[in-house]
Amino acid sequence: MTSRLALGLEYDGTHFQGWQTQPSGASVQDHLERALAQFIGEPVATVCAGRTDAGVHAKGQVVHIDSVVDRPLWNWVRGVNAFLPPSIRMQWASHVDANFHARFSAKSRAYRYTLYNHAVDSPLQSRFATWVFQPLDHLAMHAAAQALVGEHDFSSFRAAECQAQSPVRRLLSAKVNRLDRLVTIDLQANAFLHHMVRNIVGTLLEVGNGKLKRGSVKAILAEKDRRAAGMTAKPEGLTLLEVYY
pLDDT recorded at residue 111: 98
- 160 and 198, same domain (yes or no): yes
Domain boundary among the residues 96, 125, 146 is at: 96
Domain boundary among the residues 96, 129, 158 is at: 96
CA distance 156 to 196: 9
- 119 and 229, same domain (yes or no): yes
pLDDT recorded at residue 93: 97
pTM value surpassing 0.85: yes
CA distance 239 to 185: 11
pLDDT recorded at residue 224: 96
Domain that holds residue 28: 3-96
- 117 and 222, same domain (yes or no): yes
- 88 and 119, same domain (yes or no): no
pLDDT recorded at residue 169: 97
Residue 115 pLDDT level (bands cut at 50, 70, 90): very high
Residues annotated as catalytic are 53
- 168 and 115, same domain (yes or no): yes
Q: What is the CATH number of the domain that holds 220?
A: 3.30.70.660
> What pLDDT digit, counting tens, does each position of 83-93 carry?
999 999 999 99
Residue 161 pLDDT level (bands cut at 50, 70, 90): confident
Question: Does the CA dihedral 238-101-27-229 come out positive or negative?
Answer: negative
CA distance 31 to 209: 40
Is residue 217 a contact partner of residue 207, using CB atoms and an 8 Å limit?
A: yes
Does residue 162 register a pLDDT over 90?
no
- 91 and 114, same domain (yes or no): no
Q: Does the residue 53 lie in any domain?
A: yes
Mean pLDDT of 209-224: 94
Q: What is the CATH number of the domain that holds 55?
A: 3.30.70.580
Q: Does the residue 101 lie in any domain?
A: no
Q: Does the residue 102 lie in any domain?
A: no
DSSP secondary structure string for all residues of 208-235: HTTSS-TTHHHHHHHHT-GGGS-----G
Domain boundary among the residues 45, 67, 96 is at: 96
Name the domain count of the chain: 2
